[in-house]
Amino acid sequence: MARLIFLGPPGAGKGTQAKTLADKHQIAHISTGDILRESVARQTELGLKAQDYMQRGELVPDPLVIALIRERLAEPDAKQGWILDGFPRNVVQADFLDHLLIEIGQTYNFVVNLEVPDEVLVVRLLGRGRKDDTEEVIRRRLEVYREQTAPLIDYYQAKQKLASVNGNQSMHEVTSALGQLVTA
């Protein structure tokens, strides 16, 4: 059974690739960004608390995201395997995840790190044209990634769980590199 974590900066193609791989293996694609955007759209209690942080390109506070993941991993479809896309985003969340997985008797196979150079990311993100993607917010999201999320590369490397994939190639080539990794 596949349980994977997708790391990588905003604009690396995590969402697209995670969804493709999850569909192929019929496992749950769990994107905290998608769940949070839907909560904002529906103006739920979580959405109302999260929206200001998201608009500024900051991380939503850990307790909110941690509660969300705890609930989501308890859903029946997550029993068949999952890909976490956009979680964990910092060391506190990664430590929480390790403890939660012990608690529920699960483990992940490995962590995929999609590598894309900064200048390519900015071009991609500006081209995507999502509502929250103004240049200022994009730059802040990249900064937040570097400060808070990139340290997870060493974190998972130290656990010998890291698999890096070149994300700076065509969507199809990345999909095929990931496919080989997961069946290997």
Site string for ligand AMP, 18-57 (x = CB under 6 A): --------------xx--x----------------xx--x
Provide the minimum distance between the beta carbon of 162 and ligand AMP in the complex, in angstroms, as a whole number: 18
Sequence-distant (6+) residues with CB within 8 A of 162 are: 110, 111, 113, 153, 156
Provide the minimum distance between the beta carbon of 32 and ligand AMP in the complex, in angstroms, as a whole number: 3
Contact with ligand AMP (CB under 6 A) among 8, 9, 13, 86 = 86
Only segment of 16-24, 58-66, 95-103, 151-159 that touches ligand AMP (CB under 6 A): 58-66
Cα separations (Å) of 80 from 97, 105, 110? Answer: 18, 13, 16
| Residue 183 to residue 78: CA distance in whole angstroms | 20
113 — phi, psi (to 5°)? Answer: -105, 110
Taking CB atoms, the residue at the shortest distance from ligand AMP is: 33
Provide the minimum distance between the beta carbon of 20 and ligand AMP in the complex, in angstroms, as a whole number: 16
Instruction: Return the DSSP state at 34.
Output: H
Residue 72 near ligand AMP by CB under 6 A: no
Nearer to ligand AMP, 60 or 111 (CB): 60
Contact with ligand AMP (CB under 6 A) among 40, 46, 59, 152 = 59
Tokens of 31: 């994107």
Kindly write down the DSSP assignment for every residue of 37-76, as one continuous string: HHHHHTT-HHHHHHHHHHHHTPPPPHHHHHHHHHHHHTSG
> Residue 129: what residue type?
G
Residue 9 near ligand AMP by CB under 6 A: no
Residues 137-156, interacting with ligand AMP (CB under 6 A):
141
Residue 81 near ligand AMP by CB under 6 A: no
Helix, strand, coil fractions of the chain, as percent rounded to 5:
60, 15, 25
Residue 116 near ligand AMP by CB under 6 A: no
Instruction: Enumerate binding residues for ligand AMP (CB under 6 A).
Output: 10, 32-33, 36, 53-54, 57-60, 65, 86-87, 89, 93, 141
